[in-house]
């Protein structure tokens, strides 16, 4: 009987530690803007947890964020990229000031991720590299045998910042799926 109580106490302690650890991790990996992200992700057939992993890496959910390279908002859109996306989406009356609005920023950012996925044959590594370093750079890298042996995948990402970015998003994505299941 005494062994049973000890085993039960031990099991309950483990469950408590796992639960507390999960709660702590969730505070570092929140689901901010998840309804908006889910709405846009579903519109384009993307996993909302993938999109939220990008937002986490880009701005850590700071809608008013501006990077040292002048990328803005939750998904860190540059004005020229945001304008290009808005034009291609046929968004009437788009202005650069709207980039800081979460709904506009996420709408543009998710559309752009979807566009890049199409452009790069569904390859998430190439998509993330292009999101960070630009589509033109990734296309050049694919043509360079120093970076791509098969011209379809990257063996080497030549920009350290971009390589770290891609790893960060994939790490975020792994943690989000572990914490929240497949679709949050």
Show which residues are catalytic. 58
Residue 147 dihedral angles phi and psi, to the nearest 5°: -110, -25
Residue with tokens 């004005």: 79
Contact 49, 173 (CB under 8 A): yes
Element of type H or E holding 66? none
- Which tokens hold the place of 167? 């790893």
Distance of CA 18 to the CA centre of its chain: 26
Q: In whole angstroms, what is the distance from residue 98 CA to residue 105 CA?
A: 7
């Amino acid at each position: 009987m005494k062994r049973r109580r000890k085993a039960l106490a031990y099991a309950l302690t483990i469950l408590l530690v796992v639960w507390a650890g999960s709660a702590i991790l969730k505070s570092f990996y929140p689901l901010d803007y998840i309804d908006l992200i889910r709405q846009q992700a579903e519109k384009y057939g993307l996993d909302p947890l993938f999109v939220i992993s990008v937002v986490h890496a880009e701005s850590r959910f700071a809608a008013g964020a501006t990077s040292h390279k002048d990328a803005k908002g939750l998904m860190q859109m540059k004005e020229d990229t945001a304008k290009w996306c808005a034009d291609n989406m046929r968004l009437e009356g788009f202005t650069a000031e709207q980039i800081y609005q979460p709904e506009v920023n996420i709408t543009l950012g998710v559309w752009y991720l979807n566009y890049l996925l199409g452009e790069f044959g569904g390859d998430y590594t190439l998509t993330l590299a292009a999101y960070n370093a630009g589509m033109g750079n990734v296309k050049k890298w694919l043509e360079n045998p120093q970076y791509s042996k098969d011209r379809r995948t990257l063996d080497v990402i030549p920009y350290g910042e971009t390589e770290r970015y891609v790893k960060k998003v994939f790490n975020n994505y792994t943690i989000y799926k572990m914490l929240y299941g497949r679709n949050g």
